[in-house]
Amino acid sequence: MPFELAALDSRLAGGGLRAGALHEVAAQTCSLCDDAAATLFLAGIAAREARHAGGPVLWVSCRSDLYAPGLAQGGLPSAEVIHAQPRDDNALLAVVEDAVRDGTPSAVVAEAGRISMVASRRLQLVAADADLPVLLLRRHRRRDRDPLGEPSAAWTRWRIASAPSGRLDVAGVGRARWSVEMARQRGGEPFSLIVEGSDETGRLAVPAALGRGTAETAGTARVAAA
C-alpha cells in the first residue's frame, strides 16, 4: 500500500506499507491536536485501501468519541465505515480477529490503550493470513508513558504530531501539517518528516516550501511489498 509520495515511499521497505500486516500509530503526546492527527493519519490509509478494495472499513473502539465529519474531511466518509464498540480491550482484540478472518472489511482500524506482545503477534499473524491491513491506534494511558515503549510484533510503528500550518496570503488557517515519525519498521530505518495532512480523498502531500517547489500529492495505487 504505497502512499505514492516519494518522501515517504522511498523510506519504506518495499516501497509502501505491507498490506497483510499490523501497523501501529501513536500520537506524539497526549494532546488533543496530536491525537486528532494520529487518528486522521490512519483514516487516510484506510480510505485509500477502501477505494482500492471496494469494501468498508471496520473501526473498533471502546470509546464513543469518533467524529464522523472529521473522518470525512480526511477521506473516510461515514458510508464507508462500520463502527464497533466493544466493552474493553480484550473484547476489542477478539472483534478485530473475527473481522479479519471473515474478510468483509478492506481494512480494520482499532483503538487500544494496552496490548500485550502475544496479542500483537496474533494480530500480525491473522493480518498476514488474510492479506488485510490492521491499523492499530495506540492510545496514551498516562502522560509520562509512551504507548510505543511496549514491545510489539507490528510491522511498522509510527508517532504522529501536529505541526504549524503554512502561512496564507489571506486571513485563515492553511492545510494541516503533521510531523510523521517512523519509530520502527521491519527491513528499514527510522525516519521523520513533515507532510500536509490527508485531504478529502485521503491523500497526503509534501509542503511546497519543503519539497521541490510544488506540493506533491499521494495517489491510491497499491503494490506488493516484499
pLDDT tens digit string along 124-167?
A: 999 999 999 999 999 887 777 888 988 999 999 999 999 988 77
- The helix or strand, by DSSP H or E, that contains position 53, with its residue range, turns out to be helix 32-53
Cβ proximity of 107 and 133 under 8 Å? yes
In the prediction, which pLDDT does 44 show?
A: 94
Tell me, what's the pLDDT at 147? Answer: 87
CATH number where 30 lies = 3.40.50.300
Assigned domain for 91 exists: yes
- Is 223 inside a domain boundary? no
Q: What is the arithmetic mean of pLDDT over 188-216?
A: 78
Lowest mean pLDDT among 33-42, 68-77, 158-167, 205-214: 205-214
Range of the structural domain that residue 98 is part of: 6-217
What 3 state SS string does 128-195 have? HHHCCCEEEEECCCCCCCCHHHCCCCCCEEEEEEEECCCCCCCCCCCCCEEEEEEEEECCCCCEEEEE
* Distance from chain centroid for Cα 108: 10
Rounded Cα–Cα distance for residues 4 and 186 (Å): 19
Instruction: Say if 26 falls within a structural domain.
Output: yes
* Residue 196 lies inside a defined structural domain of this protein: yes
Q: 207 in a domain, yes or no?
A: yes
pLDDT of residue 219: 36
| pTM to 2 decimal places | 0.88
Taking alpha carbons only, the member of 155, 193, 176 closest to residue 36 is: 176
Q: How many domains does the chain have?
A: 1
Q: For residue 172, what pLDDT band results from cuts at 50, 70 and 90?
A: low
Lowest mean pLDDT among 48-62, 97-111, 158-172: 158-172
Contact in structure between 130 and 152 (CB atoms under 8 Å):
no
Q: What pLDDT score does 210 carry? A: 54
Work out the average pLDDT over 76-97: 94
224 part of a folded domain: no
Would the pLDDT of 214 be above 70? no
185-189: list long-range contacts, CB under 8 Å, 24+ apart: 185/12, 185/13, 185/155, 185/156, 185/157, 186/13, 186/155, 186/156, 187/13, 187/14, 187/226, 188/11, 188/12, 188/13, 189/11
Q: Binning pLDDT at 50, 70 and 90, where does residue 221 land?
A: very low
Report pLDDT for 215. 39
**pLDDT at 223 (0 to 100):** 38
Q: Is residue 205 part of a domain?
A: yes
The predicted pLDDT at position 212 comes to 45
Q: What's the mean pLDDT in 210-221?
A: 40
Inside any domain, residue 28: yes
Residue 184 CB coordination number (10 Å): 15
